[in-house]
Structure 1
Amino acid sequence: MSLKPVPTELSEPQGILPMQSLAALVDQGAVLSTSALDDNQIQPASIDLRLGDRAWRVRASYLPRSRTVADRLRDVQMHEMDLTRGAVFESGCVYIAELKESLNLPAGISARANPKSSTGRVDVFVRLLTDYGVAFDDVAEGYSGPLYIEIAPQTFSVLARSGTRLNQLRVKRGVSPKLYTTDCGVDLTGDLVGFRARRHAGIIDLDHIDGHDPKKFWEPLYQAGGELLLDPGEFYILASKTDVEIPAMEAAEMLPIDPGVGEFRVHYAGFFDPGFGTAEAAGTGSKGVLEVRCHETPFLLEDGQTVARLVYEPLTARPDKLYGQLGSNYQRQGLKLSKHFKVW
């Protein structure tokens, strides 16, 4: 794709762009799509990305590096899937899908992608790919070209179709400074402390909200002296020990903890939008939900143990609406499964 770059003023504030700036980029042709954007596709500090019409089962994950995604795909593809009629992405397999959205970013503008919260909570590992990309999820400054997504369901097989939203894009101007970080501990007190995914469960339709019986997919975990033994290869949903609050002029990303303090991965979906957990957006008391997968050895997790860190960055302007003011699914959440499941 070769398009004329959209100009940008270098003197403008640096940081993450709010929703009104994202809408302006769409109007200017910096964010393109094969179909009109959905009404709620632009979030307070991110834009949801939608699956396109085609996906491919591949024999290996890859980074295109010095090639386009499509050119490298020819070496690893096994078969093509038509997403216009819906298709099942099977657990334990790897897929590449085209996205409806593409980019023609101005100079000085870059982006970073992350799975949506609902995607991470059903243990579907997704990563963004760009032509000539040398890292997953990172979009280089001034990138002009198509977008693809790698999809790797870990526990559950899932049904998706053209238009399904699995990941989201956060757009930045300049070098967004890191303001501060906060540690995130795990809450293993109370009665119900978490859920463990059931192996060999049925298919989850990713567009069917409140449409699945949680008992068929999850095993509840109850308090056992403030400890939880993580089994290798198993997937858990847990909650943060303290409330999470993202101020209106900031956004945050939750990053996995240093492996030196535990052999497990936490939080596949790492974006927290401005307004999450704030009183002005009716979010007081919101917890961070932790998606946890233990690696090679069993690990005994203790109540309050630090498992992840939140990194906060500034917005260039206050968003027109905050998280929780757009019908958000996870404002004021406690220990909560994804939106695909009925209340336990």
Structure 2
Amino acid sequence: MTLTPAAHGILPLQTLSELVDQGVVLSASALDGDQIQPASIDLRLGTRAWRVRASYLPRKRTVMERLSDVVMHEMDLSKGAVFEAGCVYIAELQESLNLPQGLSARANPKSSTGRCDVFVRLLSDYSDAFDDVREGYSGPIYVEIAPQTFSVLARTGTRLNQLRVKRGTVPKLYTSDCGVDLTGDLVGYRARRHAGVIDLDNVDGHDPRDFWEPLYQNKGQLLLDPGEFYILASKTAVVIPVMEAAEMLPIDPSVGEFRVHYAGFFDPGFGTEEAQAAGSRGVLEVRCHETPFLLEDEQTVARLVYEPLIARPVELYGQRGSHYQGQGLKLSKHFKPW
């Protein structure tokens, strides 16, 4: 494996490809051609999932050993299965890891997953934390799936989350505040309760009017109702330099009692002129907590944390096509244009 002299950072596409070739990242079937992104690897569901009565961390046990304490029934994903809103599931992934010392990993939901209000987290054996995979870990990985508003249909091969591999202790370069845009005619969408099932592999296959209520400008303000899910957009453009990657902090109590952005990864090149995407906005997935909250235009609702790559990726975000490069206010790829 050839690494640049850079001390610590996130591994780019070409190095991730080397890890696959060398068996550091393993898979039950050959990787799809577009599975490796500029600074991450999409993860695919395996053939089995389990309905569980509670979320859990394995801690001093494997994921499967701990599963026996909470499992309700097993599901076959080979022909597709519905994950019901309000329920919790654990699913096996086709990919597994054999990380050498010096390499660790972190996972996040994909953008399309978060925009459908599906909460997912990575699990690894003997772990005390979701999404983070310790240095030198060798073993299977799993995903916890908890649809919040919509029930969803998924199957073997569906991609719900993504993995970044990191070398060493990666420094936080800087942060930037992300304010909300409430000044346009259309300012956002609110999820409809009791809607139908979203097929997570059916792109442009759903009528947005069946799932979403449009929200219009009202004096630059928006009242968030507790328990409701909103799609909003950032006030200013988001730009991720080609030698950096960013993650949006999922919860920051200092900016309000709500959760912003289930899908926190922004890959290098997002919103850049070089990738023909200047002006790209960040889409904000917002869920209000216990009390109503009044948002105002330009109010900070999230923060981006930027980290370095060990080398420039051979491709930037969106150069092989993307549903979200150059985006404004936008629903997930599953929905037809409004």
SS at match of 1:71: helix
Q: In the aligned structure 2, how far is the partner of 1:10 from the partner of 1:43?
A: 19
SS at match of 2:78: helix
1:90 aligns with one of 66, 84, 90: 84
SS at match of 1:207: coil
Is residue 2:275 matched to residue 1:281? yes
Is residue 2:21 matched to residue 1:27? yes
1:53-92 to 2 correspondences below 5 Å = 53-92=47-86
Q: In the aligned structure 1, how far is the partner of 2:191 from the partner of 2:261?
A: 15
320-329 or 233-242, larger mean C-alpha shift:
320-329
Q: In the aligned structure 2, how far is the partner of 1:8 from the partner of 1:92?
A: 45
SS at match of 2:274: helix
Letter in 1 for 2:89: Y
Once the two structures are superposed, residues 11-48 of structure 1 have per-residue CA deviations (whole angstroms, 9 ceiling, x without a partner) of 65310000000000000100000000000000000000
Once the two structures are superposed, residues 199-230 of structure 1 have per-residue CA deviations (whole angstroms, 9 ceiling, x without a partner) of 00000000000000000000000000000000
1:121-270 to 2 correspondences below 5 Å = 121-270=115-264
Q: In the aligned structure 2, how far is the partner of 1:261 from the partner of 1:37?
A: 40
Residue 170 and residue 298 in structure 1: after superposition, are their counterparts in 2 closer, same or farther (change >3 A)?
same
252-261 or 289-298, larger mean C-alpha shift:
252-261
Which runs of 5 or more structure 2 residues have no equivalent in the other structure? none
Letter in 1 for 2:24: A
1:94: how far off?
Answer: 0.1
Given that 1:118 and 1:338 are in contact with CA atoms closer than 8 Å, whether structure 2 keeps it comes out as yes
SS at match of 1:280: coil
Given that 2:4 and 2:311 are in contact with CA atoms closer than 8 Å, whether structure 1 keeps it comes out as no
Given that 2:77 and 2:156 are in contact with CA atoms closer than 8 Å, whether structure 1 keeps it comes out as yes
1:325-340 to 2 correspondences below 5 Å = 325-340=319-334
Q: In the aligned structure 2, how far is the partner of 1:36 from the partner of 1:250?
A: 28
Given that 1:69 and 1:131 are in contact with CA atoms closer than 8 Å, whether structure 2 keeps it comes out as yes
Q: In the aligned structure 2, how far is the partner of 1:220 from the partner of 1:10?
A: 48
1:3-14 to 2 correspondences below 5 Å = 13-14=7-8
Aligned to 1:37: 31
1:258: how far off?
Answer: 2.5
Letter in 1 for 2:193: R
**Runs of 4+ residues deviating >4 angstroms:** 7-12
Give the % identical residues. 81
Given that 2:9 and 2:309 are in contact with CA atoms closer than 8 Å, whether structure 1 keeps it comes out as yes
Given that 2:240 and 2:266 are in contact with CA atoms closer than 8 Å, whether structure 1 keeps it comes out as yes
Letter in 2 for 1:120: G
Q: In the aligned structure 2, how far is the partner of 1:290 from the partner of 1:340?
A: 17
Q: In the aligned structure 2, how far is the partner of 1:119 from the partner of 1:267?
A: 11
1:315: how far off?
Answer: 0.4
Superposition RMSD on alpha carbons, in Å? 1.2
Once the two structures are superposed, residues 157-214 of structure 1 have per-residue CA deviations (whole angstroms, 9 ceiling, x without a partner) of 0000000000000110001111110000000001000000000000000000000000
Residue 285 and residue 45 in structure 1: after superposition, are their counterparts in 2 closer, same or farther (change >3 A)?
same
TM-score with structure 1 setting the length: 0.97
Q: In the aligned structure 2, how far is the partner of 1:312 from the partner of 1:289?
A: 17
Letter in 2 for 1:26: V
Once the two structures are superposed, residues 115-168 of structure 1 have per-residue CA deviations (whole angstroms, 9 ceiling, x without a partner) of 000000000000000000100000000100000000000000000000000000
Which runs of 5 or more structure 1 residues have no equivalent in the other structure? 1-6
Given that 2:6 and 2:311 are in contact with CA atoms closer than 8 Å, whether structure 1 keeps it comes out as no
Aligned to 1:299: 293
TM-score with structure 2 setting the length: 0.98
Given that 1:244 and 1:277 are in contact with CA atoms closer than 8 Å, whether structure 2 keeps it comes out as yes
1:260: how far off?
Answer: 3.2
Aligned to 1:315: 309
Letter in 1 for 2:288: C
Letter in 1 for 2:40: S
Q: How many equivalent pairs are there?
A: 338
Given that 1:41 and 1:47 are in contact with CA atoms closer than 8 Å, whether structure 2 keeps it comes out as yes
Letter in 2 for 1:116: K
Q: In the aligned structure 2, how far is the partner of 1:322 from the partner of 1:139?
A: 25
11-20 or 242-251, larger mean C-alpha shift:
11-20
